Amino acid sequence: MLVDKNFQNYQSKLNHFLKSNKVKPEIILTDLHPLYRTTELGVRLSQKYAAKQLQIQHHLAHIFGAVGEALLAQTAEIADSFFGLACDGTGYGLDDKIWGGEVFKFTANRSKIIKVERIGQLENQTMVGADLAVKEPARMLLGILAKFLEKKQVYNYLKKYYSAIEFAVLYNQLRSGFNTAETSSTGRILDAVSLLLGFTGNERKFKHQPTRLLEINSTVAYENILPQLLHDKNEKKYILLTTPLFKYLIKNLQLDKKRLAATAQTYLARGFYGIIKKNKKAGTPFYLGGGLSANKIISAYFSARGASTNKKIPAGDAGLSFGQLVYYLFS
């Protein structure tokens, strides 16, 4: 497999670098996900070199990739209070769920991060088959539509992708909770929108295919839907509801699909910004990171409102190590 060869090449080059430069690491930074190959490699290396291994949450690293770029460009400094938004596909969360649409508030003292608060997120939706929902967007759409439609109605939107028997198995899996996962991922929501509107099929041929096809087929958003926020007083955070977005799309599927595509992305951008505005004082810096921060509609919306975004450092996972390092240096 290509993935195996890539990882083998990565390990080989890393080992060569450490050996040829006689490097003995004292601290090793990895992702929080316990099953990532790089996390497992970090464990082995920390044992080999008697080094301290530190695991950094995926989306904090994405946000600090944008923070680090701004610091290097000398366009910002670590403020006493600032905000970060992660628009991403998949990342292991601190609550053992799959994150990807998160708003954080950071409090600092003398350029050291002393407090991190998750003040907002996308509504959790169910990934039927867990990671298989990344490969098959229809599994994601199933979990969402089943929240407000009857079984037969849901099947009408999915019968193009599954036989009646296959659908029954997946629907029962959803209801039983077997091999499912909860996610607040921006990517998974846009995957499901792209499938529902007909821009992508149910087999992802390359990474970000559904979201990319949704983006390039977008025109001008409709203005007759406002983001719905739910205030979770117990956890002191706001939840941007995405089920109402799909109710809107189902109700208006006869309209221009390209405008509906733009509407969905704009709904998320406006909703996220609504969460930030409820917490943000005028002049407080905020940063946008994660793979979907490069989405043209989302990035344009936040750039117009003063957000700092990645311009040279990759916004996606290619820039993750840089973000991990920056977060470590200021924590």
Query: Contact at 8 Å (CB) between 127 and 182?
Result: yes
Amino acid residing at 141:
L
CA atoms within 13 A on the CB side of 137: 32
Answer yes or no: is 226 within a domain.
no
pLDDT at 194: 98
Answer yes or no: is 13 within a domain.
yes
- pLDDT (mean) for 305-326: 94
- Please provide the average confidence, as pLDDT, over all residues in the chain: 94
Summarize pLDDT for 39-82 with one digit per residue, the tens: 999 999 999 999 999 999 999 999 999 999 999 988 767 889 99
DSSP of 181-218: EEE--HHHHHHHHHHHTTSS-SS--STTHHHHHHHHT-
Answer yes or no: is 33 within a domain.
yes
Which residue stretches of the chain are H helix? 2-20, 37-49, 58-72, 132-135, 137-145, 151-158, 164-176, 186-196, 209-216, 243-251, 257-279, 296-303, 320-329
* Predicted confidence band of residue 110 (pLDDT cuts 50, 70, 90): confident
Local structure of 115: helix, strand or coil: strand
Answer yes or no: is 27 within a domain.
yes
Answer yes or no: is 190 within a domain.
no
The whole domain housing 46 covers 2-56
SS3 string of 263-282? HHHHHHHHHHHHHHHHHCCC
Asked if the model's pLDDT at residue 283 lies above 90, the reply is: no
Q: Which among 172, 100, 319, 276 has a CA at the least distance from the CA of 164?
A: 172
Please state the domain count of the chain.
Answer: 1
Answer yes or no: is 68 within a domain.
no
Summarize pLDDT for 262-274 with one digit per residue, the tens: 999 999 999 999 9
Q: Which among 124, 151, 127 has a CA at the least distance from the CA of 139?
A: 127
Mark 182-204 as b/e (b = at least 16 C-beta within 10 Å): bbbbbbbbbbbbbbbbebbbbeb
- Give the residues across from 324 on adjacent strands: none
pLDDT at 3: 61
pLDDT at 5: 85
Give this prediction's pTM. Answer: 0.94
Answer yes or no: is 46 within a domain.
yes
Answer yes or no: is 89 within a domain.
no
